[in-house]
Amino acid sequence: MNVYLGRKRQIVLLKILISTAFLFVLFILTDTEKMISAMIDINLLVVLFSCGLCFLQMILAGIRWYAIGTRTGSFISFFTTMRINFAAMFSNQVLPSSIGGDVVKTALATKEGLALGRAIRTVLLDRMTGLISLIVLIAATYGVIESYFPKEWALKGSQLIVVPILGALLITLYNGAKISKFLQKFEYLKWIRTFLYEASVLFGVGWTALYTISISIIIHSIGALCVWILALNLGLNINYIVVLAFLPLISLAQLVPISIAGWGVREGTLVSLFALMGLDSSISLVVSVIWGGSIVIAAIFSGLIWFCMRSADENLRDIKAHEF
């Protein structure tokens, strides 16, 4: 047990070091004076609006998870779903631990009476819906991406990533019930069979899949709006559609679990992509840092809401146990 906890701490420390190293290199390679000046000059109302947009994304993420849960079987109440979602957002962005938001969702949903396997499956379906929406956005904005990347890169990227992954996911999820029936003779694959069946319920009905994927696309569109408004306020001349095209690439880069809440990876990817458009790297870095800060502030607000939504007995018990 002690060895396991020691390894977890080492992983967390390594992630912190990687995030710090990425940010340190970026700060060295950019104009520090220009960055400080940009941070001083930015409109505070724009920053507050950015925080509001990030919080709206978190609300929509909870609605998406609830929609997926209720459309694939029995699930917890909407109020409980939102409460758990706020806790997960807080954990994901604020707490420097190896326990991600998905683990928090699963644990708290199980605590509320949802079966462990069912909780895990809804979280996985939620993740997969988000991934599909990212790939759909990449496919929809392929022409924009192609105009900034070398044509060979864009073509190979679509051939090796977008088409195969999206095609495989949709075919598997749409035909989940048939695949599940085929796997009935393998008793040890019961959990996978159940997952595929629930996936077919979600994605086998057109309007249901469209509803959940649309929520995901709206979430990403709001994120793009946040970055775009910050960039415009700092004097960067950039089109919203271009930001919308690049955001899925930034989100995919953040899926690599090597940093704390995406810090460093997000900044490096955004600065690199904005550099393709000839935009100032120092100002681009400020945009990414303020965007990341807005997400953290929204997550802290989510944590406060979660704390207020819990019972007094629960809060007292957790405070005594030093869980915060």
Per the structure, the count of domains in the chain is: 1
* Residue 121 covered by a domain: yes
* Residue 306 covered by a domain: yes
* Residue 272 covered by a domain: yes
pLDDT of residue 180: 55
Parent domain of 137: 48-310
* Residue 70 covered by a domain: yes
How confident is the model over 44-83, as pLDDT tens digits? 999 999 999 999 999 999 999 999 999 888 899 999 999 9
pLDDT of residue 117: 85
* Residue 18 covered by a domain: no
CA distance 100 to 103: 5
223 versus 10: the higher-pLDDT residue is 223
Can you read off the two tokens belonging to residue 26? Answer: 């970026």
Can you read off the two tokens belonging to residue 72? Answer: 């694939």
164 versus 275: the higher-pLDDT residue is 275
* Residue 76 covered by a domain: yes
What predicted TM-score, i.e. pTM, was given to this entire model? Answer: 0.84
Asked if pLDDT for residue 166 goes beyond 70, the answer is no
Whether the CB-CB separation of 215 and 250 falls below 8 Å is answered with no
* Residue 219 covered by a domain: yes
Nearest to 37 by CA among 235, 269, 288: 235
pLDDT of residue 312: 46
Give the number of other CB atoms < 10 A from CB of residue 42.
Answer: 17
250 versus 310: the higher-pLDDT residue is 250
The H-or-E segment that residue 307 falls in is helix 281-309
Q: DSSP 3-state assignment of 278?
A: coil
* Residue 17 covered by a domain: no
By percentage, how much of the chain surpasses pLDDT 90?
37
pLDDT of residue 242: 93
pLDDT of residue 98: 45
Nearest to 239 by CA among 272, 271, 279, 269: 279
